[in-house]
Structure 1
Amino acid sequence: MIRPAILLLALLTALPAAAEIYSWKDKDGRTHYSDIPPPSGPVKTLRGTPPPASAPQTEGEASDDAANEETAQPEAEQPVDPDTAFRQRRAEEAEAAAKAARDAAEEAEKQRFCTDARNQLTALDSGQRIARMNAAGEREFLDDTARAAESARLRQQIEQHCN
């Protein structure tokens, strides 16, 4: 006995959520919202199914509608469902945050590269003996020509990426 009553109560409370919401502007330019469409004029359905198409128009009515469409606001400026607008704003904010995070990570990587390159150049210019591992895994000391070539390469990279 209690289950049918709960089911009936749930169905009755869900009916208003399925109602259609219409929006239109009156002759004074005021926007109205209602669950009942206006008797005539352009109407926008905010929630629910769109209103049924009206009877075929005569040529005079078609030109009036065309004039109304030209003076109407663009699609992007017309009011939209608040939930849709909220989700769109959240998506744009998330995209902007992701872009900012990517930009910050790229900038940090660039700073790390520049710091490492400058440190290597300082070590090369100091005159210390520098050894590198070759392909066989053995230590090789840089001679003066290899040191000059490496120094020129680092200066070029610093010039291109760090200024």
Structure 2
Amino acid sequence: MKFVHWLLLGCVVAMPLSASAQWQWIDKNGKKVFSDQAPPPDVPEKNILRRVGPAPGARSTANPNVDAAPAEGAADAAAATPAKAAAAPKPTGVDKELEEKTRKAEADAKTKQAAEAAKVAQAKAENCTRARQAKATVDSGMRIARVNAQGEREIMDDTARAAEQKRVQSVIDADCK
């Protein structure tokens, strides 16, 4: 009885292996198709992107007929092979719709980034203008009053004025470039 359980367990474990044999091709409408069955015969060989077994005509690099062919014929065959490879378009395996969506997403990201940079530049320009106005006010020598944490009005003394000049100057150095 234990043998039957092990056999059943082995069959269950081996079932997903059959799903690993997948075909991938581009149909006549330009859509990618994934299947566990071979594509229909009207699909050209160049549109088959992935297959279960080796590609037809794909053999090892060693040619068994090299000894029988003369040296000149071998050179002509070697010259013709790259020409065929260059003439035949290679499937890229990239979905055109996916490429378009990716391009659009990248363009949107660049647009958002440019808008964000414009906002930051505008905020810096406003900060610069305000800091220059504050610097002119502090440097004018007029008496300046502030409201403290208790809501009381207090006049800035020389040390507070120097600290405020230093703070405003640091803002100008940071934002006015």
TM-score range, shorter chain: 0.5 to 0.7
* 8 Å Cα contact 2:26-2:47 kept in structure 1: no
In the TM superposition, what is the alpha-carbon distance from 1:138 to its structure 2 partner?
Answer: 1.3
Paired AA for residue 105 in structure 1 = K
In the TM superposition, what is the alpha-carbon distance from 1:105 to its structure 2 partner?
Answer: 1.0
Tell me the alpha carbon deviations over residues 65-89 of structure 1, each in whole angstroms, 9 at most, x when there is no partner.
xxx8xx88xxxx9473221111011
Stretches of structure 2 that go unaligned for 5 or more consecutive residues are 1-24, 31-40, 63-81
Paired AA for residue 60 in structure 2 = E
CA RMSD of aligned residues (A): 3.5
TM-score normalised per structure 1: 0.57
Paired AA for residue 107 in structure 2 = E
Counterpart Cα distance in 2 of 1:90 and 1:55: 35
In the TM superposition, what is the alpha-carbon distance from 1:149 to its structure 2 partner?
Answer: 2.0
Matches within 5 A, 1:78-93: 78=92, 80-93=94-107
Stretches of structure 1 that go unaligned for 5 or more consecutive residues are 1-18, 24-33, 62-67
Overall identity of the aligned pairs, in %: 37
Paired AA for residue 97 in structure 1 = T
- Say whether residues 1:96 and 2:110 are aligned partners: yes
- Say whether residues 1:124 and 2:138 are aligned partners: yes
TM-score normalised per structure 2: 0.53
The 1:101/1:82 distance shift into structure 2, 3 A limit, reads same
- Which residue of structure 1 aligns with residue 44 of structure 2? 37
- Say whether residues 1:157 and 2:171 are aligned partners: yes
- Which residue of structure 2 aligns with residue 10 of structure 1? none
Counterpart Cα distance in 2 of 1:97 and 1:35: 44
Tell me the alpha carbon deviations over residues 114-143 of structure 1, each in whole angstroms, 9 at most, x when there is no partner.
111111111111222211121112111111
- Say whether residues 1:144 and 2:158 are aligned partners: yes
